[in-house]
Structure 1
Amino acid sequence: MKKGYLGVVAMLVLLVGMLVPIASTLAQEAGAAPAVEQEVEVADTVTFGALIKQGGWAMYPLGLFSVAMFYFIIRNSLLLREKNMLRADLKGEIEALMAKRDVAGVRELCAANDSLLTAVLDAGMERISEEHAYDAQHVMDAIEEAGNEQMVTFMKPINFLSIIGGTAPMLGLLGTVSGMIKAFSIIAQGGMGDPGKLAGSIGEALITTATGLVIAIPAMFAYFLFKNNFIKSMSTMGRMVGHYLNIYRYAKVD
């Protein structure tokens, strides 16, 4: 799972690396004063807050999207840790209980250690305790149902990253269209003689587009990273549950 952490770190570095130069460039462009009577004035320093303000209304929902993106990246990086989902540290205890066919003991252990693997294994043990016998088909049906339920639960916060990655560019594009409408409205009102007014509307259009892309790229990168790691963990979980059930099935109890 160390590769997953390295991927998250690389993604955050990528986000910061994209945001800093873009914000710096846009700030310089926004703060550049127009030439008056062929005299070039020194550009004023524009704060990040002023840059966001220049982006207009679209920067507020995009800001919420960026906060949500960081939240789900941190949440998934903690929630989808393989050692927490598969609980390899319980392997010896589970194997010993399975070898004794201690269904109640296995279920008690699973209840005390909530995880992906224990939730699925407990569903199989529950079916055995209900039927008081081992029916391979019925047990596998219960495990499959529990596995699908757990997949939906774990994939929900992962899918939110996909939603953010798909919606942020569209919202940025909407802000771009809004800024261009304002720019053409200024032109229609004879505002060509005042470059400052025109530049403000064009700046709004460019800032929202860049912000939407800066949010979307790491969000989609994180989505595929977490999704692939989770699918791998699900496959490993299926193999481990099958191993435990085989121990139970062929256990020799006096």
Structure 2
Amino acid sequence: MKKGYLGIVAMLVLFVGIMLPIATTLAQESAGAPVAEAQLEVADSVTFGALIKQGGWAMYPLGLFSLAMFYFIIRNVMLLKEKNMLREDLKPQFDALMAKRDVAGIRQLCAENDSLLTAVLDAGMERISEEHEYDSVHVMEAIEEAGNEQMVTFMKPINFLSIIGGTAPMLGLLGTVSGMIKAFALIAQGGMGDPSKLAGAIGEALITTATGLVIAIPAMIAYFIFKNNFIKSMSTMGRLVGHYLNIYRYGKTNG
């Protein structure tokens, strides 16, 4: 699982590293198409910082979006490791405690090992402790409530990637509209006869659109990968909780 998440990060970094130079190059070529050959040679030597400046105001929030995207990808990789969420390494200890019906021991083990599974399991044990008996309906209600709370907690950083993926293209489009407004304003002022005056405005329009898409595509890919893996972990958690409760109910392990 760890190798899989590291592969996702590597793939997304590679994607951004490949697409960003391509996008900016295409923007340069489109912006400079009407310009003379000498001006194209100058455009080829434009630095990355100059491209950001040419993209206008929209490049700054898009830059923040790109940083946020990498932050949430790395955070989710660290947070959503299945071995940390499900703590299957504690299974022998839980099996033994469940067979003894040692509620206090189970709750102590859960408190010492914070994870998705232990938080949900502790909620069920808390209900047993409060009622001093095993009522399967009440226990499952407590587990379901805790599971919903944990789902909200874990899905929040995943959903931020969806927000970035949906908003970045819109922000890039807004930068495009801003650049086209400037281009038409220059035409209205008589800039049609001098294409070089339009290059900056057209470049702003194209660069911001390309940048927004370069940010959005890996963000959405990461969102669906993390979401699907988390849903899989939730299903596994349900199976493990059922396993532990059966041991508690019947006072013995399957072995």
Pairing 1:5–2:6 present: yes
Residue by residue over 1:53-74, the C-alpha shift from the partner in whole angstroms, topping out at 9 and shown as x without a partner, is: 0000000110000000000000
Match in the other structure for 1:231: 231
Match in the other structure for 1:22: 23
Unaligned runs of 5+ in 2: none
Match in the other structure for 1:64: 64
Task: Say if 2:86 and 2:116, in contact at 8 Å, map to a contact too.
Answer: yes
Q: CA RMSD of the aligned region, Å?
A: 1.7
* 1:42–1:237 distance in 2 versus 1, CA, 3 Å: closer
> 1:21 is matched by which residue type in structure 2?
I
Residue by residue over 1:22-75, the C-alpha shift from the partner in whole angstroms, topping out at 9 and shown as x without a partner, is: 23443566678932xxx7466121110000000000001100000000000000
TM-score, reference length from structure 1: 0.93
Q: 1:1-254, aligned counterparts within 5 Å?
A: 1=1, 2-27=3-28, 34-35=35-36, 40=38, 43-44=41-42, 45-251=45-251
Report 1 or 2 for greater relative contact order, CA contacts < 8 Å, sequence distance ≥ 6: 2
SS at structure 2 position matched to 1:145: helix
Task: Say if 1:98 and 1:245, in contact at 8 Å, map to a contact too.
Answer: yes
Distance in structure 1 (CA, Å) of the matches to 2:61 and 2:71? 15
Unaligned runs of 5+ in 1: none
Deviation at 1:199, TM superposition (A): 1.0
Give aligned pairs, total. 249
Distance in structure 2 (CA, Å) of the matches to 1:207 and 1:245? 57
Distance in structure 1 (CA, Å) of the matches to 2:124 and 2:14? 43
> 2:148 is matched by which residue type in structure 1?
N
Deviation at 1:5, TM superposition (A): 3.5
Deviation at 1:250, TM superposition (A): 0.3
Distance in structure 2 (CA, Å) of the matches to 1:212 and 1:162? 14
* 1:19–1:42 distance in 2 versus 1, CA, 3 Å: closer
SS at structure 1 position matched to 2:71: helix
Task: Say if 2:32 and 2:199, in contact at 8 Å, map to a contact too.
Answer: no
Task: Say if 2:98 and 2:248, in contact at 8 Å, map to a contact too.
Answer: yes
Deviation at 1:192, TM superposition (A): 1.2
> 1:125 is matched by which residue type in structure 2?
M
Distance in structure 1 (CA, Å) of the matches to 2:39 and 2:57? 30
